[in-house]
Structure 1
Amino acid sequence: MVDATPDMSHTEQSTFILRYLTCDECGKYLIQERFLSFIDDSKKTGADISEMILKFLSDSHIPFEDCRGQGYDNGSNMSEISQLKSLTAKTKVDVAAAIKYVSSFECILMAAFWFKLLNSIDQRNQVIQAQSSTVDIEVKNIEDLETELQSLKKKWHLIYDEAKVVAVAMNIDPVFRVTRKGKRKSFFDDSDSDDDKVSGEDSLIQTDEHRFKKEVFFKVIDTVCERLNKRYQAIFQINKLFGFLWSYLDMTDEVIVNDSKNFSTEYSKDISSDKLTEEILYLENIHKANLDDNSLSPLLLLNKITKLKLQDLFPNICIALRIFLTLPVTVASAERSFSKLKLIKNHLRSTMGQERLSSLSLLSIESDLARKIDFDDLIECFAARKARKGVFL
């Protein structure tokens, strides 16, 4: 995983995070995400960034051919914004309008609605950003989130009543602001509708709760769900490509054969198509007797196979599962490294060198490994490198 951010001295720092599997003493696979280094790189084009990544992997003796997934984040060039020294007449009008809106019932209603929506997103986000999270977990959480957001439409009256209680407590009239309704020019052959029959003040004022519910509440939920589907479309495709590896109990043999062939085509360098199909069908037959009655998650399935010493029977399945488990779900680990970057290279250490920055960051971020270092060996190694006395015979 690679991401970038400017540090205190406005130097673009690219962080490198490696996601891989380890096997503990009990033979159990664990997902690891480790910080490698910060690289000073101010280049922005895709070709330059690719060259920088390949060079770093080569210098770190990490074969690029063994890498099977990449994590990235959307980036944008940030431009400096000059601070306004004085408010213009138009700005004063905008500020007054903002203050008026904040003191309105619509603002309270929007705050109550967005709190419910963002709280649901945040709960799923915390699960997805966990280090042990995998793509299938992400897909399930996104699908559950979309279902939960759609169920918010049925809770409109609860949110509306809650906003009214808050408005009364803040001494704000719990009614919608009066807005003028646009009048459409009528012609002699127009039919009379219910809206046209309304006359007088009701034809000029639109304070209907239904308008806000339809034009704002429903529209926001539909837009968020649409953006979720669009943003995570690639994740859904990846999960579909790997899904047969652990969902074979719910599939027919024909679907399993077809999916295994598609997967083998995508990962032809790692998997044998014919052998993978045979292994999946064989695993399906012995699943209930040796594993469990229900489908297992990818990590649990891999650990079950390893625990039963069945790796030699299902080598291609184990390889495929290990590839899937190393695919990054989010770049949360990269974002966490930026938090350490700001603590280490602050305004008092703005001239810190790149090597020192990376070394201190490595000790801080990977402190669990640093605490296991044998300092006696470390001191002897340091003394041997720094010793200036020669040995004379």
Structure 2
Amino acid sequence: MADGCMRLSGAGYRKRALEQDEGHATRTLELFYTETIAALVAIEEDPHEKAITRNEATGIRIQLELLETAFMQGLWSFLLTSFNAVSKKLQNVNTTISEVISLFNGLVKVVSDTREEFDQYEEKALSISTIQEYKTLRQRRRNQNLQPGENRDNSIQLSGRDNFRVNTFNVILDRTLTELTRRREAYQKIYSKFSLITDMKHLSNEELREKSIILSQYYTQDLKENLGNEMVFFKAYCTEKKILNYSPLELLKMLRQDNLQISYPNLEIALRMFLSIPISNCSAERSFSVLKRVKNYLRSSLSENKLNALALLTIESDLFLSIDCEDIIREFAAEKSRRKEL
């Protein structure tokens, strides 16, 4: 065991691992794939190790030696490296929605191109995998009652390679591409509402007024109908001062510095709304925070269904508080009533 562990704990390993600023597990596994398998073999053959430890090492080694595992670690290493770079940019407070859309366009292009690179990933996996063939699915043939004129020759039997490509490789990339496209469209929808601000220099006065009406109708409680006139006047002001290339943040700072928010109150509100829209979300983290508040020591014996229901009511508290519960309570009381008329 000592020799195998030394391969993974020596100075060379630490240096190479630290040089990879991404730091995720798939990248580390890609760098030390053969060393990891050698270390597992050393653990298996070490008589001083517990039997359960040797068995676990054997199971992990068998999985790592599969061609499919070597293929997937190379694929995920590439994808997670790309996602990690975008994630770091999304966490920057100065990142704008237009930049986010460009980042998502890049990810969509990367995933689309990766779908056509199966052979490259396969070649790389074959170079490090112990097993050089894909697992072939062996299925028991079902007895079918064939109608006159039918035969079993129409059934398609995929090879191990084709089955892995169709049912694993393509499925992962297609689902990832669908989710990325959905999120990009959500950002594009928000961006289009505020295009009168981001694309002000490219829009005519009539287009500015039309887009201002759409935005003010969407935020009726915040913006007035004269937003269009303010945009036309402000564009003329920016043209005169030659600041049409300013970003929304720079425009808001300029409004405050020149004390123009009194002249353009609706524009100032629209700028603040646009700049305060978060470019990322943390719905999963909020769910865990809610569970921590709901399932305290007084509710430690809650069933899963009840816990899920309480968590959903807490997460969607705004919607829940807007619902009139009197009818629901009366309905519930009527159903649970045990009084019987004599």
TM-score of the two chains, using structure 2 as the length reference: 0.54
Asked if structure 2 preserves the Cα contact closer than 8 Å seen for 1:298 and 1:321, the reply is yes
TM-superposed CA distance for 1:217, in Å, is 1.6
Asked if structure 2 preserves the Cα contact closer than 8 Å seen for 1:181 and 1:206, the reply is no
Distance 1:287 1:145, change over 3 A: farther
Q: How does 1:192-231 map to 2 (within 5 A)?
A: 206-208=159-161, 210-230=162-182
Asked if structure 2 preserves the Cα contact closer than 8 Å seen for 1:136 and 1:239, the reply is yes
TM-superposed CA distance for 1:286, in Å, is 5.6
RMSD: 3.9
Matches of 1:112 and 1:121, distance apart in 2: 14
Asked if structure 1 preserves the Cα contact closer than 8 Å seen for 2:224 and 2:266, the reply is yes
Alignment partner of 2:267 out of 293, 308, 317: 317
Higher deviation after alignment, 177-186 or 99-108: 177-186
1:105 aligns to what?
A: 67
Matches of 1:150 and 1:160, distance apart in 2: 17
1:277 aligns to what?
A: 228
Distance 1:103 1:280, change over 3 A: same
Matches of 1:285 and 1:158, distance apart in 2: 55
1:132 aligns to what?
A: 94
TM-superposed CA distance for 1:161, in Å, is 2.0
Q: How does 1:78-97 map to 2 (within 5 A)?
A: none
Could you tell me which amino acid in structure 1 is paired with residue 247 of structure 2? S
Could you tell me which amino acid in structure 1 is paired with residue 84 of structure 2? D
User: Deviations along 1:16-40, whole A, 9 cap, x unmatched?
Assistant: xxxxxxxxxxxxxxxxxxxxxxxxx
TM-superposed CA distance for 1:216, in Å, is 1.5
TM-superposed CA distance for 1:105, in Å, is 0.7
Distance 1:97 1:254, change over 3 A: farther
Matches of 2:254 and 2:140, distance apart in 1: 67
Alignment partner of 1:329 out of 253, 263, 279: 279
TM-superposed CA distance for 1:245, in Å, is 1.4
Asked if structure 2 preserves the Cα contact closer than 8 Å seen for 1:244 and 1:260, the reply is yes
2:208 aligns to what?
A: 256
Could you tell me which amino acid in structure 2 is paired with residue 327 of structure 1? I
Alignment partner of 1:239 out of 191, 202, 206: 191
Matches of 2:205 and 2:150, distance apart in 1: 62
User: Deviations along 1:87-141, whole A, 9 cap, x unmatched?
Assistant: 99xxxx9997665333201011111111111111111111111122344433332
Could you tell me which amino acid in structure 1 is paired with residue 160 of structure 2? T
Matches of 2:259 and 2:216, distance apart in 1: 24
Could you tell me which amino acid in structure 2 is paired with residue 174 of structure 1? Q
Could you tell me which amino acid in structure 1 is paired with residue 123 of structure 2? D
Matches of 2:258 and 2:123, distance apart in 1: 57
Distance 1:328 1:159, change over 3 A: same
Matches of 1:194 and 1:250, distance apart in 2: 58
2:127 aligns to what?
A: 165
Could you tell me which amino acid in structure 2 is paired with residue 189 of structure 1? G
Distance 1:317 1:103, change over 3 A: same
TM-score of the two chains, using structure 1 as the length reference: 0.48
Distance 1:94 1:242, change over 3 A: farther
Q: Please identify which structure carries the higher helix content.
A: 2
Asked if structure 1 preserves the Cα contact closer than 8 Å seen for 2:96 and 2:279, the reply is yes
2:262 matches 1:302:
no
Matched position secondary structure for 1:224: helix
Matches of 1:218 and 1:289, distance apart in 2: 54
2:107 matches 1:155:
no
Matches of 1:243 and 1:134, distance apart in 2: 13
Q: Please identify which structure carries the higher strand content.
A: 1
2:4 aligns to what?
A: none
Between Structure 1 and Structure 2, how many residues are aligned?
Answer: 230
1:146 aligns to what?
A: 108
1:190 aligns to what?
A: 150
2:132 matches 1:174:
yes
Distance 1:261 1:154, change over 3 A: same
Distance 1:194 1:300, change over 3 A: farther
Matched position secondary structure for 1:272: coil
Distance 1:258 1:111, change over 3 A: same
Could you tell me which amino acid in structure 2 is paired with residue 206 of structure 1? S
- Note the residue ranges of structure 1 that are not aligned, 5 or more in a row: 1-86, 197-202, 339-393
Could you tell me which amino acid in structure 1 is paired with residue 132 of structure 2? P
Higher relative contact order structure (alpha carbons within 8 Å, sequence separation ≥ 6): 1
Matched position secondary structure for 2:160: coil
